Structure 1
Amino acid sequence: MGKSRVFAYLQLTRPANVVTAVADIWAGFTIGGGWIYYSIVQDTGADYPWLKFLFISLSTIGLYAGGVAFNDVADAELDAIERPERPIPSGRASKSTATFMAVALLAIGILFAFMVNWISGILAIGIGVCAVGYDYWGKHQQILGPINMGLCRALNLLLGISAVPGVLGDYWPIGLLPLIYVAAITMISRGEVHGKNRNALYAGAAMYASIFVAIMCFSFIGRDPNWQVVPFLVLLGLMIFPPLVKAIRTQEPKYIGKSVKAAVLSLIIVNASLAAAALGWIFGAMVMTLLPVSLWLAKKFAVT
């Protein structure tokens, strides 16, 4: 297989987006107290903390890459009309090979999750089902579609939390934040091809604003006020709102697409904000190290 063919199949996995999924895991691991728990466990010699962290990170890579690859398989006929430059309609990637790759990636993701614990494995299966369900059904649903897509991200954050035994029951409501955020992105993205979706853009802006309020509230719950989260939220606002305002003003598909791209990449900042709200700026900064990687990949591979 030549380099151009390999590049085409990599395009199907949206590498820049995959990095944002890893950010979900790192934030979830932090929120669940994974660094504290596994430092104690490591001292007793009873477990292998870095293996757990590695396995859960590899799990989300397989799950996300497989899910978005299935999206191109499902959209092959439509893309032939609207996006003929995509790998499958352009002939650079085979639909049958892309299907096999997507199935293999999902299976690998689920396998690595079960290597962490059975709860992680069940969540991984749920993510796979939601992802494929969105690809073939959810994206065509006006209301349930954005919720379906948001649920994929919510479960992914919970997957990171599940790597820490016994805490998922306490922290599962945190999953509502990525659900709302990604549902907003999905709703806004429906104007990428034809534009003229001002109501969806306004609704998305309101949903983004609710995320800021929720993260600030999370930073205060059960602890002294944690103002270390504020710089992360400021950066998040600077990333998502200027392109969104331009999209609202122009209603042009080009600017709606830029708004969606900014919001997708900003998922890393959302996760960094959650990590900072949970344990302080150092952990937020750790998640933020993924942002330049994602931005670099976004220059080489399509994000939407």
Structure 2
Amino acid sequence: MSATSLNSYRLWAYLQLMRPANIVTAWADILAGFAISGFMVIQAGTLELEALGWLLLATTGLYGGGVVFNDVFDAELDNKERPERPIPSGRASRQSAATLASVLLLVGIVAAAQVSFLSAILAICIAVGAVVYDSLGKHQALVGALNMGLCRGGNLLLGMSAVPAIVGEYWFLALIPIFYIAAITSLSQGEVHGAKGNTPTIALLLIITVITALFGLELLPNYHILTALPAIALFTGYLLPPVIQAVSQPTPEQIRNAVRSGILSLVILDATIATGFASLPYGLFVLCLLPISIALAQIFAVT
């Protein structure tokens, strides 16, 4: 193998560690939070998108760093259970992966700091939460699910921090991704050996709670439920069938299918929020991330 081919081979392995399909779903969080913040920030009569760009870069670094650290901490376990992954297969070194993860988290924090002090604080909290989850949290069923949910809720708040005052006003909206990700994370713990106990049923109940909360957003003065109804229907129709299948047959294969659908459905969830707070065209713009994420999921693993 030539030096160029070897470098490309290694680069591909580190790209796999970052799980690009998942990062696209993190962009959707930012776009949804940005919609909640007032859709766009107007300065001197011109449309200011610089803040959005920094926040998208921030979540790329934070999410990418978090998932790379996941494989760093799981290297020994993956050597037994998932030897095809980049680190146990030898295509990426554990030390280099840890360096990449650290750089990505730093990039995320620095990019967020370009928007506001609150954005930087939120980015630091997300970074710390991701490392805690990767190293300790995921080994505790309930704590791990809540830990990951808090990271994703923080990502929605990060998008809202384009207008810092909005975070204080609508912070409770972070509960939607917190409950949702808690459900998907609890399911993911059965990807290798199958689900145990009532975990799939609890996950299903949490997802139903999230769907109910989406209808409850109508109580907010600037959320338009009629505009968001098609997105809610799409979210429900895309997600519930594989989750219900996992409840009835909690095998590793069914659990992985449900988790994959759950991760990709994050884009639809964010599009639902964005549509209600901003407009149908903006919601469709967010939804356009779904086929991109699905296409990347055919190339890169999402779990």
CA deviations 1:168-215 (Å, max 9, x no partner) are 110100000000000000111111111143511111111001111111
Q: Tell me if the contact between 1:187 and 1:204 (Cα under 8 Å) persists in the aligned partners.
A: yes
Q: Tell me if the contact between 1:180 and 1:207 (Cα under 8 Å) persists in the aligned partners.
A: yes
Secondary structure of the residue aligned to 2:141 is coil
Quote the Cα distance in structure 1 between the aligned partners of 2:234 and 2:211.
11
CA deviations 1:101-132 (Å, max 9, x no partner) are 00000000000000111110000000000000
CA deviations 1:226-267 (Å, max 9, x no partner) are 311111111111111111122222221011100000000000
- Displacement of 1:97 in angstroms is 0.5
Q: Tell me if the contact between 1:114 and 1:120 (Cα under 8 Å) persists in the aligned partners.
A: yes
The structure 1 segments of at least 4 consecutive aligned residues displaced by more than 3 Å after TM superposition are none
Q: Tell me if the contact between 2:224 and 2:276 (Cα under 8 Å) persists in the aligned partners.
A: no
Q: Which amino acid aligns with 2:19?
A: R
Quote the Cα distance in structure 2 between the aligned partners of 1:289 and 1:42.
30
> 1:17-36 counterparts in 2 under 5 A?
17-35=22-40
| Superposed CA RMSD | 1.4
- The aligned counterpart of 1:94 is 93
Quote the Cα distance in structure 1 between the aligned partners of 2:266 and 2:224.
24
Q: Tell me if the contact between 1:275 and 1:287 (Cα under 8 Å) persists in the aligned partners.
A: yes
Q: Tell me if the contact between 2:87 and 2:93 (Cα under 8 Å) persists in the aligned partners.
A: yes
CA deviations 1:277-297 (Å, max 9, x no partner) are 212322211210111110110
Tell me, yes or no, if structure 1 residue 271 matches structure 2 residue 270: yes
Quote the Cα distance in structure 1 between the aligned partners of 2:11 and 2:233.
38
Q: Tell me if the contact between 2:222 and 2:277 (Cα under 8 Å) persists in the aligned partners.
A: no
CA deviations 1:142-178 (Å, max 9, x no partner) are 2111000000000000000001132111010000000
1:4 to 9, 14, 23: 9
- The aligned counterpart of 1:60 is 59
- The aligned counterpart of 2:128 is 129
Query: Compared with structure 1, are the counterparts of its residues 6 and 203 closer, same or farther at alpha carbon in structure 2 (3 Å cutoff)?
Result: same
Secondary structure of the residue aligned to 2:147 is helix
- Displacement of 1:95 in angstroms is 0.5
Q: Which structure 2 segments of 5+ residues have no match?
A: 1-5
Q: Which amino acid aligns with 2:295?
A: W
- Displacement of 1:223 in angstroms is 5.0
Q: Which amino acid aligns with 1:103?
A: S
Q: Which structure 1 segments of 5+ residues have no match?
A: none
- Displacement of 1:224 in angstroms is 7.8
Quote the Cα distance in structure 2 between the aligned partners of 1:224 and 1:184.
25
- The aligned counterpart of 1:232 is 231
Paired residues in the alignment total 298
Q: Which amino acid aligns with 1:4?
A: Y
> 1:208-219 counterparts in 2 under 5 A?
208-219=207-218
Q: Which amino acid aligns with 2:265?
A: S
- The aligned counterpart of 2:74 is 75
- Displacement of 1:60 in angstroms is 0.3
Q: Tell me if the contact between 1:215 and 1:277 (Cα under 8 Å) persists in the aligned partners.
A: no
Secondary structure of the residue aligned to 1:93 is coil
Q: Tell me if the contact between 1:150 and 1:179 (Cα under 8 Å) persists in the aligned partners.
A: yes
Secondary structure of the residue aligned to 1:54 is helix
Q: Tell me if the contact between 2:79 and 2:88 (Cα under 8 Å) persists in the aligned partners.
A: yes
Q: Tell me if the contact between 1:17 and 1:303 (Cα under 8 Å) persists in the aligned partners.
A: yes
Query: Compared with structure 1, are the counterparts of its residues 224 and 101 closer, same or farther at alpha carbon in structure 2 (3 Å cutoff)?
Result: closer
Q: Tell me if the contact between 2:200 and 2:250 (Cα under 8 Å) persists in the aligned partners.
A: no
Secondary structure of the residue aligned to 1:302 is coil
- The aligned counterpart of 2:241 is 242
Quote the Cα distance in structure 2 between the aligned partners of 1:248 and 1:218.
28
Q: Tell me if the contact between 1:198 and 1:251 (Cα under 8 Å) persists in the aligned partners.
A: no
Query: Compared with structure 1, are the counterparts of its residues 59 and 224 closer, same or farther at alpha carbon in structure 2 (3 Å cutoff)?
Result: closer
Secondary structure of the residue aligned to 2:49 is helix
- TM-score between both structures, scaled by the size of structure 2: 0.95
- The aligned counterpart of 2:49 is 50
Secondary structure of the residue aligned to 2:21 is helix
- The aligned counterpart of 2:301 is 302
Quote the Cα distance in structure 2 between the aligned partners of 1:25 and 1:167.
14
Quote the Cα distance in structure 1 between the aligned partners of 2:146 and 2:36.
23
Secondary structure of the residue aligned to 2:242 is helix
Quote the Cα distance in structure 1 between the aligned partners of 2:218 and 2:36.
11
Quote the Cα distance in structure 2 between the aligned partners of 1:242 and 1:156.
27
